[in-house]
Amino acid sequence: MIVVMQAGASDKAVDEVVERIVQLGLNTNIIRGTERTIIGVIGTSFKAELAEMLASAAEVDSIIPVSKKYKLASREFNPVATVVELNGGLTIGGSEVVVIVGPGAVESEEQLVAVARAAKEAGGHILKGDVFKPRASPYAFRGLGLEGLKMLAKVREELAMPILTEVHSTEEIELATTYADIILIGPHNMQNFNLLEEVGRTMRPVMIQRGNSATIEEWLLAAEYALNTGNKAVILCEGGIRSFDPSTRAVLDLAVIPLVKKLSHLPIVVNPSQATGKGFLVPPMGLAAIAAGADGLIIEVHPHPDQALAEGPESLTIAEFEQMITQVKNITRARKQAL
Amino acid sequence: MIVVMQAGASDKAVDEVVERIVQLGLNTNIIRGTERTIIGVIGTSFKAELAEMLASAAEVDSIIPVSKKYKLASREFNPVATVVELNGGLTIGGSEVVVIVGPGAVESEEQLVAVARAAKEAGGHILKGDVFKPRASPYAFRGLGLEGLKMLAKVREELAMPILTEVHSTEEIELATTYADIILIGPHNMQNFNLLEEVGRTMRPVMIQRGNSATIEEWLLAAEYALNTGNKAVILCEGGIRSFDPSTRAVLDLAVIPLVKKLSHLPIVVNPSQATGKGFLVPPMGLAAIAAGADGLIIEVHPHPDQALAEGPESLTIAEFEQMITQVKNITRARKQAL
Amino acid sequence: MIVVMQAGASDKAVDEVVERIVQLGLNTNIIRGTERTIIGVIGTSFKAELAEMLASAAEVDSIIPVSKKYKLASREFNPVATVVELNGGLTIGGSEVVVIVGPGAVESEEQLVAVARAAKEAGGHILKGDVFKPRASPYAFRGLGLEGLKMLAKVREELAMPILTEVHSTEEIELATTYADIILIGPHNMQNFNLLEEVGRTMRPVMIQRGNSATIEEWLLAAEYALNTGNKAVILCEGGIRSFDPSTRAVLDLAVIPLVKKLSHLPIVVNPSQATGKGFLVPPMGLAAIAAGADGLIIEVHPHPDQALAEGPESLTIAEFEQMITQVKNITRARKQAL
Amino acid sequence: MIVVMQAGASDKAVDEVVERIVQLGLNTNIIRGTERTIIGVIGTSFKAELAEMLASAAEVDSIIPVSKKYKLASREFNPVATVVELNGGLTIGGSEVVVIVGPGAVESEEQLVAVARAAKEAGGHILKGDVFKPRASPYAFRGLGLEGLKMLAKVREELAMPILTEVHSTEEIELATTYADIILIGPHNMQNFNLLEEVGRTMRPVMIQRGNSATIEEWLLAAEYALNTGNKAVILCEGGIRSFDPSTRAVLDLAVIPLVKKLSHLPIVVNPSQATGKGFLVPPMGLAAIAAGADGLIIEVHPHPDQALAEGPESLTIAEFEQMITQVKNITRARKQAL
């Protein structure tokens, strides 16, 4: 941590800052520049509050953190890429691209089975079904709950596909962990810290989707909350950030894939359906994500998008999905050659 | 709702859209323009899913909602401005500007009493104390919990000041309602719909702070969740939105004050401390909020900002706060003359 | 265009709006819904001011445009994809991916020749050299001007590579067209409408880079300015948009590739160097752009990035560039299989 | 400037960075922390390119600037607030709030005279008239040019009001300076560096409106370009930044008023008409700007907003303007008491 004093700061102000740092058992190194004095703080055991305290001290211009705020999530802490292994042996973060398929909201057993069978046959690996549906409006369809989870469990048994489902509050965790293999924490809840910790403690693999205006640092700090419970099976998911352009629902920020892989050891998947909100954009953006190095994709598929109770416009038909999977395989192969 | 067909859409596609609308018991009115055909949907009882369904139909370009998605929160539904009355008779949304003062996190009884007494004496109305402290990093100070609530209750009794405290999960609600007069739902939780409903059901006044990338429509839909429980004592709080400029923590979007007052009947307060993150910006932005018509302010005050465990840089000293209150009174008086 | 009246608007207000529309020689179609009345405006020859005028009329809630504001740039106007052909026969927008290589600023003949030869050998097609360098700070290196253009011309002759250079004001156009094959209008100037028209009138191919906070509609309207001069050789370039996350210089918005291809017939290239500002992100984002369907890439290459007078951190070394070109070819091949 | 090395950087890499700095005649001071080594660069005469060069060196994590990039615009360089004096003695940046009134585009002498007389009578100080109208669409009304300037000059003579007009290219400067007292550089051109310099060289007062996605640093660097020509009469104008919320045209970022006054000595005015795009938001946001310390306001006024060729929806009628001026005076008086 570096303390930058104001231009022309007095010796007294510099001494006061140094004294406070030393009182906390840390060392300092002072650089007196031609315009400003800066104070380096040396030591590892900073209280997180130190930066805020010093920022309020007299004649201090700003505080510059040098070390990262997250530790367990960092590549420096764990140089080897994390590979999350699910029951049944499927892995996320290894050499294969994982395809997660979902109908958006679970509406009926019939709909779910149609999607799941087609997905499995085309080469999909994991079934995503949302049974607790948070909606921006209280008047929209809000999910089937327990009934839906049972349908998911039935499909899992029949097709041997692992299940991914989203939870929105701690009350839903117990039910979800009974039936699901991966628990998703959605973008609205990325900074719901109680939920991150409670889901982490289940030791079930947890996927954390980036909040729609979260920085990468905030996202990795959210992962840190889950990792801090001892759970090592944390997966990141990019599903778009909010911008000024109404053309798409969100902007899919694909540069986070190589960036996260440099900063962190955690696997990362991408959800082009949710980000774009438009079916015709899903295949090109899914392929782009693979080319950029994503470990997997989440694709919304619906037997009849125009009758879906949610996520219709962004869903692919089963035929479109099958075609996309072929393309994904081509790009995956090219990427392997490429690297 | 209006369905805009693609340029050159076929009669068959238009007929299919019309048929689907009619099946739902709604009427249509077709406008055949020189370039495009548009279909007006007439009726009040739309299912929220209808827009998504139609957006996926063949040869449809886009769906344009005409009615607002929220109802209970709208000025059209309730033309008279809501005035929230607290125990003891204080009101929010009436002719007086309400000043809410807080030390950020409750750290000790000594600190709390010092702030509360000074605030009360200077003309502050409500004490804000956070005892459950959500932090972006798991390694930061996370609040005193029950012990802190008891300190707040003690101060309330001594000084007859209503208490505002934030909850972050449904588990915290029972404790908070035992001790607090207003429950705050913070920006991270603005779309935590379970929490909005659970807090709403307590029938205690609830303040909903805008998420840092929430549109006004999403914010009013969050209020709709709370209002939909039958609770009428809902207060909005603007505390800044995220932008591209790192100069301040967030951008205080003051135009929402007159805009919300046009769209909705709910009172609105502003938190310049949290938005700006810098003490010297708090007085001018607080005065600006009053000039723009805000019903109240939340101001962070700390006896020793440079020793605060949180929110130090944005806190005013007690002397700065006293000076600001004088300014607030001047501007409030000028605003009344002005209107 | 649709005029949405306020809920409960009077017949008088509706009549006044209709009358004004009819005076302009247009027709109307009125839909009286259960909550609101909306008025469809029928006709093609709208003055662009009509929307603004009606928005100010009494009891009008909002104006919704139905037709697009741009015409010449739209896919509806010209359903066949535009292929821009350069002197020498190279095409942009055809079946091949075009690779544009540049050292950022032209610094010396030695530097330029080193990059150009290596680029050519590795499979690069066009040389980009900036000789008029707009810098956010007046104290930074600002380009070699005419001297630099002559170096570019010399390289063009020696290596038969077309030249791309950026202009920032109308004074620079004459010089630039003497030496360059494609004129770039950079993001700062995307809404410099005089410049768009003046460059358009040269009938030289013009590349328009999206402003860093421009919507797709504003970008296509900028293209409309150039097209409106009769110039048909307009190429779009995505180089990143501004976001709240300081991790990268800008967010590369790759979804615009398929989106622009749906809305417009113009070719589109991507500049991952400028968007990311970090060399290690350039190859994955370049490959992602190709997978998403881009017609070309602009890649900054420098013989010694750590000695560059500008764009050092985002430049690839020649060896890194050669490796990237191999990857680009693999992904291009896979994309062709894929489609 | 501080160079932060990667965690575990080698001594060799540190030495190379130090050597390069020393070669440039600068001194260094090395801090070896427990996790990282950082290198302070000491000296005043940095080339602007140094940061970019070092950022590309081996094992360097990041470069942190300590000094500001602008100098002439900084409060540190010039601690006394700049007061711009116009012909006739009117000042901007002094103790009085300046009111600039305009009809948006100049449409006719009749319209201009009506607005100017009413504005003058109500207490307006400066007349703003745009005669070169940049429009996002090439099909919109684009201004009266020379004819419009002559109308402005006539009004100036009759009413003794200084004139403000916008230029968009260097070709327009000569004409504009013949007739206008202040030259406005609009948000599209804030980083049109040639234009900034050419307008600066006229030594006429120049107003620079913040680009709609410009940081405060970029804005002050734009001012630096104008100041660097020797022109000291530079005025800043905040007219809104782009956000994700479509409710208003832009977000008026009022915190820049106290922030700019801390960082810089330049006066700052606010344009609530352009930022909000809605007439009913103009008075509250104008008053808020005054309360926050703005030196002036730009208010669009039109005798008949619903017939305006541009800016109709955001314009006040003459009666609304007169009422607003009374409010502005009340708040100005309260602000003076307050300070």
Please give the CATH architecture assigned to the domain spanning C84-338. Alpha-Beta Barrel (3.20)
Length in residues, chain D: 339
Average pLDDT over chain C reads 87
The whole-angstrom separation of Cα B286 and Cα D335 is: 12
Residue listed under structure tokens 């700065």: B320
Task: State the nearest Cα–Cα gap between B266 and chain C, in angstroms.
Answer: 19
Cβ atoms within 10 Å of A1's Cβ, excluding its own:
19
Residue listed under structure tokens 């708090």: B282
Task: Extract the tokens encoding C125.
Answer: 């097609």
When mean pLDDT is compared over B138-147, C81-90, C110-119, D100-109, the highest value belongs to: C81-90
Closest in A69, A191, A308 to B52, CB measured:
A308
Share of chain D above pLDDT 70, in %: 91
Chain D CB within 8 Å of residue A259 CB: no
The DSSP call for residue A303 is S
Q: Which residues pair with D268 in a beta bridge?
A: D236
Q: Which residues of D touch A244 (CB under 8 A)?
A: 213, 242-244
E strand or H helix that includes residue A200? helix A193-201
Q: Among candidates D4, C15, C234, C35, which has minimal Cα distance to B71? A: C35
What pLDDT was estimated at residue C221? 94
Average pLDDT over chain A reads 87
Q: Are C234 and C227 in contact (CB under 8 A)?
A: yes
Q: Are A234 and A202 in contact (CB under 8 A)?
A: no
CA angle B264, B267, B272 (to 5 degrees): 115
Measured in degrees and rounded to the nearest 5, phi and psi for residue C238 equal -95, 125
Residues forming CATH 3.20.20.70 domain(s) in chain A: 84-338
Chain C CB within 8 Å of residue B65 CB: no
The whole-angstrom separation of Cα B106 and Cα B83 is: 29
Q: Which residues contact B104 (CB under 8 A, 6 or more apart)?
A: B130, B300, B302, B308, B310, B311, B312, B315
Q: Among candidates C194, C188, C191, which has minimal Cα distance to D222? A: C188
Chain B CB within 8 Å of residue A89 CB: no
Buried b (16+ CB within 10 A) or exposed e, A80-116: eebebebeeebebbeeebbbbbbbbbbbebebbbbbb
Residue D325 vs residues D43, D102, D124, D179, D319: alpha-carbon distances, Å: 51, 14, 8, 27, 10
Largest CA distance in chain D: 76
Residues forming CATH 3.30.70.1140 domain(s) in chain C: 2-64
A281/C255 CB distance under 8 A: yes
Mean pLDDT, range B63-88, rounded to an integer: 87
User: Would strands D60-64 and D2-5 be described as parallel, antiparallel, or unpaired?
Assistant: antiparallel
Chain C CB within 8 Å of residue A178 CB: no
The whole-angstrom separation of Cα D282 and Cα D327 is: 12
Closest in A262, A280, A281 to C280, CB measured:
A262
Q: Is the pLDDT of residue B332 over 80?
A: yes
Q: Are A304 and A318 in contact (CB under 8 A)?
A: no
Q: Which of D44, D53, D71, D249 to mutate to test the interface with C (most CBs of C within 10 A)?
A: D53
Task: Extract the tokens encoding A275.
Answer: 């980000």
Q: Are B332 and D333 in contact (CB under 8 A)?
A: no
Q: Are B275 and B239 in contact (CB under 8 A)?
A: yes
| SS3 track for B156-206 | HHHHCCCEEEEECCHHHHHHHHHHCCEEEECHHHCCCHHHHHHHHHCCCCE
The whole-angstrom separation of Cα D196 and Cα A245 is: 28
Residue C275 vs residues C285, C290, D140: alpha-carbon distances, Å: 10, 15, 32
Q: Which chains touch C (3 or more CB pairs under 8 A)?
A: A, B, D
Q: Which residues pair with D31 in a beta bridge?
A: D38
Q: List pLDDT tens digits, range B165-175.
A: 999 888 889 88
Q: Among candidates C171, C159, C186, C174, which has minimal Cα distance to C105? A: C186
- CATH number among 3.40.50.300, 1.10.3720.10, 3.30.70.1140, 3.40.50.1970, domain A2-64: 3.30.70.1140
Q: State the sign of the Cα–Cα–Cα–Cα dihedral A132, A136, A137, A138.
A: positive
B136/A49 CB distance under 8 A: no
Give the dihedral of Cα atoms D258, D260, D266, D272; nearest 10 deg. -70
pLDDT classification of A307: cutoffs 50, 70, 90: low
CA atoms within 13 Å, Cβ hemisphere of B337: 17
Q: Are C54 and C40 in contact (CB under 8 A)?
A: no
Task: Extract the tokens encoding C289.
Answer: 């752009």
Q: What is the ipTM of this complex?
A: 0.88
Task: Extract the tokens encoding C216.
Answer: 């797709």
CA angle D116, D117, D118 (to 5 degrees): 95
Residue ranges, chain D, pLDDT below 70: 43-49, 66, 133-143, 306-312, 338-339
| Burial class of residue D316 in the structure, from the number of CB atoms within 10 Å of its CB (0-12 exposed, 13-18 middle, 19+ buried) | buried
Closest in B140, B192, B242 to A189, CB measured:
B192
The whole-angstrom separation of Cα C138 and Cα C127 is: 27
Share of chain A above pLDDT 70, in %: 92
Q: Is the pLDDT of residue B235 over 90?
A: yes
Q: Which residue of D has its CA nearest to A66?
A: D4
Chain D CB within 8 Å of residue A247 CB: no
A284/C276 CB distance under 8 A: no
D284/B291 CB distance under 8 A: yes
The whole-angstrom separation of Cα C164 and Cα C131 is: 11
Chain A CB within 8 Å of residue B242 CB: yes
Mean pLDDT, range C179-198, rounded to an integer: 93
Average pLDDT over chain B reads 87
The whole-angstrom separation of Cα B219 and Cα C222 is: 34
Q: Which residue of A has its CA nearest to B135?
A: A193
The whole-angstrom separation of Cα C187 and Cα C241 is: 10
**Residue that wins the pLDDT comparison between B300 and B142:** B300
Q: Please identify among residues 208-237 of chain B the ones whose CB lies closer than 8 Å to any CB of chain C.
A: 213
Q: List pLDDT tens digits, range A156-210.
A: 999 999 999 999 888 889 889 988 999 999 999 999 888 999 999 999 999 999 9
Q: List pLDDT tens digits, range D129-139.
A: 888 766 566 66
A287/C291 CB distance under 8 A: yes
Q: Among candidates A126, A118, A122, which has minimal Cα distance to A296? A: A126
Cβ atoms within 10 Å of C220's Cβ, excluding its own:
25
What pLDDT was estimated at residue B87? 85
The whole-angstrom separation of Cα C240 and Cα C271 is: 8
D35/A243 CB distance under 8 A: no
Chain B CB within 8 Å of residue C45 CB: no
pLDDT classification of B273: cutoffs 50, 70, 90: very high
Mean pLDDT, range C250-265, rounded to an integer: 97
Q: Which residues of B touch A171 (CB under 8 A)?
A: 170, 194
Q: Which of B212, B236, B243 to mutate to test the interface with D (most CBs of D within 10 A)?
A: B243
Q: Which residues of C touch B43 (CB under 8 A)?
A: 33-34
The whole-angstrom separation of Cα D80 and Cα D85 is: 15
Task: State the nearest Cα–Cα gap between D38 and chain A, in angstroms.
Answer: 9
